[in-house]
Amino acid sequence: MSTYKAINLIARPQGGPVGPDLLQVVEKEKPVVGEGQFLIKQTHMSLDPAMFGWMSPDTESYIPPVELGSVMRSSGIGEVIESNHADFAIGDRVTGLLGMQELIVTDGQGLNKVSAPLPAETILSVFALPGLTATQGLYGIGKPKSGETIVVTGAAGSVGSIVGQLAKADGLTVVGVVGSDEKADWIITELGFDGAINYKTDDLAVKLAELTPNGIDVYFENTGGPIQHEVIKRMNTHGRIAVCGMIADYPKAEPDLAPNWIPMIKKRLTLQGFAMPDHFGDIPALQAKLTPYVMEGKIKHRAHVLEGIESAVTGLNLFFTGGNKGKLIVKL
Ligand SMILES: NC(=O)c1ccc[n+]([C@@H]2O[C@H](COP(=O)([O-])OP(=O)(O)OC[C@H]3O[C@@H](n4cnc5c(N)ncnc54)[C@H](OP(=O)(O)O)[C@@H]3O)[C@@H](O)[C@H]2O)c1
């Protein structure tokens, strides 16, 4: 391979779908591996909703925006194919922010070796960002207790599906909010959720009341949208709200209006947003918490795999249409 492909960010989203006007596939010369460096061939690229934030010009966020004309930021997993580095040998698998590119030359900073003999799809779907995010948000903020009720939005997604299964394993009543009957059926039949709400077709207030007769103690928020107002109304005293994502608002010029905050006072609710870069130092502890659930077969996942780097350019839109059934991954 004397050349390789990468995807550069060439313009910022203005609302509407992502396409070649924003993300440009370019051909590059294979890099030379210097002393103390190694070359990674990325095998699986992770697509994540956070990438829309990284494309925006917002300098106030938890991570700087991607500069126009440079390789788009993304995480992934790959294999070392050349090495002049004492700690990384040919054949080692590594994961981290590899960017949207087939080859990466690096000194290894910020990357982690993958020692577990698991398929790349399982690592990206469970042990990487989705599982770490689910574990941090649920236990760090949600503080679930057996017998309580949790509502999870984006419940068939990579983060939401793990949150719901962890909560179910801990003895909570788990209700998931999804955008299709197929996803509703999957989270109940396959993942063991107690109930599902299709936010596109159900009467939200009626269905939520039916499924949460004892109110709601924990709310894991991945999406925003009208269900948020209904959930806040049904929160129990001292309920906890983990604000993980707000995908319904990402494509909008103006976010939706927030719910009424009076219940926050009357019910003494705790609401906390979080972003995983704050918790990268906690990864060993988060993995130690998550792994036993996985080993006991309590965490199922599904991956939605696209083929070839070019498929990432429009593949990202699946997050907004709900077309992704599980963790969105591009196999390179
Ligand atoms: N805070 C952090 O550090 C952190 C880390 C990772 C992820 N996140 C956030 O967590 C959320 C889930 O991420 P993920 O990777 O697991 O993605 P995902 O849930 O696998 O995919 C996104 C899903 O969101 C749903 N959706 C899209 N538009 C919606 C709308 N208008 N209203 C309601 N639902 C909508 C779609 O499912 P339906 O078919 O069900 O509509 C879509 O499949 C995202 O908001 C992401 O930004 C945050």
According to the model, what pLDDT value does residue 15 have? 81
- For 5-21, the pLDDT digits (tens) are 999 999 999 888 899 99
**Nearest atom of ligand 1 to the alpha carbon of 53:** 47
CA distance 105 to 85: 11
The ligand 1 atom nearest the CA atom of 158: 16
Q: How far is the centre of ligand 1, averaged over its atoms, from the C-alpha of 98 (Å)? A: 22
User: Ligand 1 site: residues with CB under 6 angstroms?
Assistant: 48-50, 129-130, 133, 154, 156-160, 178-180, 183, 199, 222-223, 225, 244-248, 274-276, 319-320, 322, 324
Per residue in 218-229, pLDDT tens?
999 999 999 999
pLDDT at 280: 87
If one residue of 319, 320, 324, 325 were mutated to test the ligand 1 pocket, choosing by the most ligand atoms within 8 A of its CB, it would be 319
> Residues 152-181: pLDDT tens digits?
999 999 999 999 999 999 999 999 999 999
The tokens of 109 are what? 């900073």
| 1 pLDDT more than 80 | no
What is the 224 CA–ligand 1 centroid distance (Å)?
9
pLDDT for position 270: 98
- pLDDT confidence band for 254 (50 / 70 / 90): confident
Helix axes 158-169, 283-295, angle to 10 degrees: 70
Measured distance CA(166)–CA(139) in Å, rounded: 10
Which one-letter amino acid corresponds to residue 302? R
Structure token pair of residue 277 = 């870069």
Residue located nearest, by CA, to atom 5 of ligand 1: 133
Distance CA 311, CA 23 (A): 11
CA 9 vs CA 15, 52, 102, 166: distances in Å: 15, 11, 16, 36
From 40-44, 67-71, 251-255, 260-264, the region with the lowest mean pLDDT: 251-255
pTM score above 0.75: yes
Mean pLDDT for 97-101 is 97
Average pLDDT score over residue span 125-141: 97
Cα(234) to centroid(ligand 1), Å? 22
Task: Give distance in angstroms: CA of 233 to centre of ligand 1.
Answer: 22
154 Cα–ligand 1 center, Å: 5
| CA–centroid distance, residue 162 to ligand 1 (Å) | 13
Question: What percentage of the chain carries pLDDT values higher than 90?
Answer: 92
